[in-house]
Every structure is written in structure tokens, then in C-alpha cells.
Structure 1
């Protein structure tokens, strides 16, 4: 995988570098590009092996949180496992190369879901997954999320990353934000090697402050 594969004739001063989920973290943390979030219930098997369907896509999140209802969670899990099984099969048959795949992440619903869903993954599945997105990540759940991520890495001897999403109430308001961010940093520090990116949930924060389109969210 590399950026701008859809535009092979464009001349760069420095050609985009090749990367995949096993590239060094130092490189990979800058490789995500524009990440596509899609409901975990959506069947993407054919699109993943058709380079024209997802041209230019370098990172993909299969979402089990905001984009689906609680009642659809089981369906999303089954669909994600099906996508992983199918992709692994295509790789085994030589019909797909790892370098053709976008970096694949799963956004879990909460810490309990992460623990439960993790039990369904095989070593073969984790060859394909780059990592997990942790929604509503804050001081109340950070340690559990990161412990579970570390356990997965150790159990399967795989390189799996976390991408925490900062969007909780305790981080929204200025009065306590710095204090909570410092505490969160202290929790994250021992697990730094597992953290690929830290993201900000602009949608949740915008809703909390009744922001409209066009408002400058990052002025907060």
C-alpha cells in the first residue's frame, strides 16, 4: 500500500513510500491519510479485493459504535468476522496481496464489547487487523482498554495498535480538561508503543456545544 496509487502518472519530487500494517510505528503513524468509517454491518468483501472500488483508500474503520444500533451489534460482529475470513482466504490463495489492503481497524462499542469481541478473533484474523479504535476514551476506561490491547498483543504475538478517541464529557469542558488530559497522559505513557494515533471526536464535542456546520470546532 502507498498513497496516490490511483494516480500512477503523477510525478512526485519524492515518491510515496510503501507501507503495510507491519511497517514501523514511526512510519505508520503518518500513513493513515483520510480514514473511511463504515458501519460494521456493511459487507465490503468484494470491494476490498477490487482495487477500483476503494481507489486511494489507505485506512478503513469497521464501526461497531455510532453508525449502528445496539440491536445490530451481533450482525456487525458476524459481518466483520466474515470479512476477515474471506480476506484471509483470498490471501492464502494468492488472489490478494497484503500490500493491496488498506490499514484495517475496528471501532469497538465500549470496553465490555472489546473484551467480548476479542474472544472471537483468531490469529489469522489478527494478521489482517491493524488495530482498534476506542470511543469515549477517558480516565475511567483507559486502563482497561489498554490492558486488553496489551493482552491481545502478548497472547497472539501480533502487532496490534490502539487509536483512542477523545470525546467524553470529562474532556469537553475547559475547567477540568487540562487536569483530566494530564491524568490520561500518565495512564497512556506505559502503553505508548501500542498507541498509533490519538483522535478527537469532533462530532460528539460539537453536539455537546451545539456547534453548527461552519463553526470552528478546534477554536475550543
Structure 2
């Protein structure tokens, strides 16, 4: 299968009967060479895997079969300095295996570069076959001083490999963290990225590096939005680079770092009532014991703050990101009503619990319909609990 003919489809791994029970409208097939914003929305939970891991291709194929839709083979923070050449060869070899696999990989695969010499070395090692499996490059510590050079290297790599390569810059430098340089940095990045718009799939943010520069590490009892100094940076990034007026990009949310149980200082984030109603109290306890209640809370706040998708470092985090990305029946019907109200005005929701204002809510409604195309629309009465239970194989 060539890269141009590939598609991505969420929840493909669920049985047909489960999809029929859960979805009013099932997720669609999103073409890799199709609409850029649709493909960016389809990233969902992007799993980072160290590029030096043995059996890398098998790991990607297994996770893809389990519902992962995007993966980054990480040559940067996850690999020690002395192991870069070996890890680069390992990652390129994995791409070659993925391209020739009898059971094709259904996930988007990216390489995270490390240093300016990394991309040319990748191109030297890569065959045309391996290139078919590569969707693009992730550029760490992307800032205004190096942006043009990174984007030029990506364009040169695409020309050398004879294919389109997407780029996902990671904003995590001190220039964007510090208040006195942030506005100028965002203005520079906005200008540069706009000039390369068709190559920029999404803008990623690295909250861990930003916290690290200030000697901060959030614990399991807090979301990144509780770390106000970093939350302010995320708000400014979305404000400048996430605009929905044709000048912005999809901005993805930062990583949740935890996946093991610990002694709690505060109550769990998850209310018990939805799980009682769905007879899934024990499942809720499992989520809480693995710190996934904090992740679910942060995913909800990601959406409210204008971000789509999320960087993840553990396979257990993929299902929560995807489950909370599904459009509810209520969201969908409200969005359809708003989009259909050509004359503007105020409409009472069919659910009799809110007013829908056609003009102020129009951009929101169009984004909901785009998300519905990618993640599907849940049946009436189906909640994130039902989706999580099904994705955990407990349904």
C-alpha cells in the first residue's frame, strides 16, 4: 500500500457489533493525502516510543492493531547521546519492516529528530520502501532562530525521498516560556509556519521541558492547567497559533506523565455516579488506581482550552484520549442546528438545556462536525464510560 492511498480510521479494532451499539455515526476513513486539518484531527493520542527499542516494528504494528493512530519514533530525549547512530538505524530499519509488512500498519508514523545533522542522516539511510511508511518529522525545541533551517531540511528530505513529508514542530523552548521574549517569538513562528502551511500538520507543545526550565514537576494530583506559569504559555500559543480564521493550526496537548498508583493527597477527579449508572464501579476503581482519572480530567481541560489530540508515553493513555474525543449525540445535534441556521439568531437546543447562538457558536459547530467525521458520533445514552469499557475489552 502506497502512502498516498493509505487511510486512518479510529476504533477500527472494535468488533462491528460494538461499533453499531456505540455509534450513531461511525468514524470515517481519513485519507493520509487528503484534507490536512482532518488528518491533524485524526492524530488523536500520539504515542512516543524510544527509537532504540528492540522489535520496534512489531511494537508499532501491535499498538496499531490495538487502536493507536499515530506514533513517534523518538530519537531525541528517549535516546542516550552515544546511541544515536544505532537508534537511527533501528528506526529506519523499522520503517522498512513496516512498509513491507503483510499486515499493514494503520497508524501514522513520524520520526522525532535530534540535532541539525539528524534529518540528512535519516535520508542517507532510508530506502524508497522505508520512506513509504513515514508520514513526517517531529522537530523538538523549535524556535524562531532555527525554524527556517529545520523546515528547509524537511523540504530537502521530502525532495530526496520523492514524497510529501509533514512536519510537527514542538514548542518548548525558553524563548516561548519566558514572558519577555514570548510575544516576539510567537510572532516569528506564526510568520514562518504560515509560509510552510501545507507542510505543517500540527503544532505540538512540550510542557515537560517548560516545567523543567523552572524547576517544576507537576504531581499526579494536578493537571498542567494548575501550573499557572505553563498554563499561561499554552493559552498564548493557542491564542496566536490556534486561531480558526484560516491563519492557525491544530495545536496538540502536552503529555500526561503518570501511569502507576500512588498514595493520594486529594480525592479522585472522577465522579462515581456515571460509573454506578453503567454498573462499572470496579472499572472506575481501576482507572483511579492507575492515575487515569487525572488524565481524563486533563483531556477535558485540553478540549476546553482549544487543543486537540495529546502526546502520550504509555499505551494505557490512548483509549482515554480517543474515548473523550468522540462527539456526543447532544454535541452533534447542537452543531448541526447551528450550522443549519443560515440567518443567525438564537435557537433553543433540542435537549432543552441551553441556548445555541448561531453566529458566536458557528466556528465551534464546524469543529465539532470535523471531529465527528474523524471520531464518530456516539449513540444517544452512550457516554465516555461505555466507550472506555468497550476499549478496555470489558463490554
Query: Structure 1 length as normaliser, TM-score?
Result: 0.89
Offset at 1:130? Answer: 0.5
Q: Is the 8 A contact 1:134 1:165 kept in 2?
A: yes
Offset at 1:154? Answer: 2.8
Separation (CA, whole Å) in 2 of partners of 1:48 and 1:114: 21
Separation (CA, whole Å) in 2 of partners of 1:70 and 1:22: 35
Stretch moving more, 18-27 or 67-76: 18-27
Offset at 1:45? Answer: 2.1
Q: Is the 8 A contact 2:97 2:130 kept in 1?
A: no
Stretch moving more, 58-67 or 150-159: 150-159
The equivalent residue for 1:218 is 231
Residue-pair matches, total: 213
Separation (CA, whole Å) in 2 of partners of 1:142 and 1:58: 27
The equivalent residue for 1:23 is 34
The equivalent residue for 1:76 is 87
Q: What are the superposed Cα offsets for residues 92-119 of structure 1, whole Å, 9 maximum, x if unpaired? A: xxx223xx42100000112222233222
Separation (CA, whole Å) in 2 of partners of 1:188 and 1:125: 27
Task: Determine if the alignment matches structure 1 residue 4 to structure 2 residue 26.
Answer: no
The root-mean-square deviation of aligned C-alpha atoms, in Å, is: 1.8
The equivalent residue for 1:101 is 106
Q: What are the superposed Cα offsets for residues 16-75 of structure 1, whole Å, 9 maximum, x if unpaired? A: 011353333131011100110010001222233446x75110000000000111111111
For structure 2, which runs of at least 5 residues remain unmatched after alignment? 1-7, 234-395
The equivalent residue for 1:186 is 191
Higher CA-based Rg: 2
Choose the corresponding residue for 1:132, options 130, 137, 158: 137
For structure 1, which runs of at least 5 residues remain unmatched after alignment? none
Q: Which of the pair has the greater relative contact order for Cα pairs under 8 Å at 6+ separation?
A: 2
Q: 1:174 to 1:126 in 2, by over 3 A?
A: same
* Secondary structure in structure 1 of the residue aligned to 2:111: strand
What does residue range 60-71 of structure 1 map to in structure 2 within 5 Å? Answer: 60-71=71-82
Structure with the higher fraction of residues in helix conformation: 2
The equivalent residue for 1:200 is 205
The equivalent residue for 1:171 is 176
Separation (CA, whole Å) in 1 of partners of 2:151 and 2:108: 20
Separation (CA, whole Å) in 1 of partners of 2:211 and 2:231: 10
Stretch moving more, 106-115 or 131-140: 106-115
Q: Is the 8 A contact 1:138 1:184 kept in 2?
A: yes
* Secondary structure in structure 2 of the residue aligned to 1:61: strand
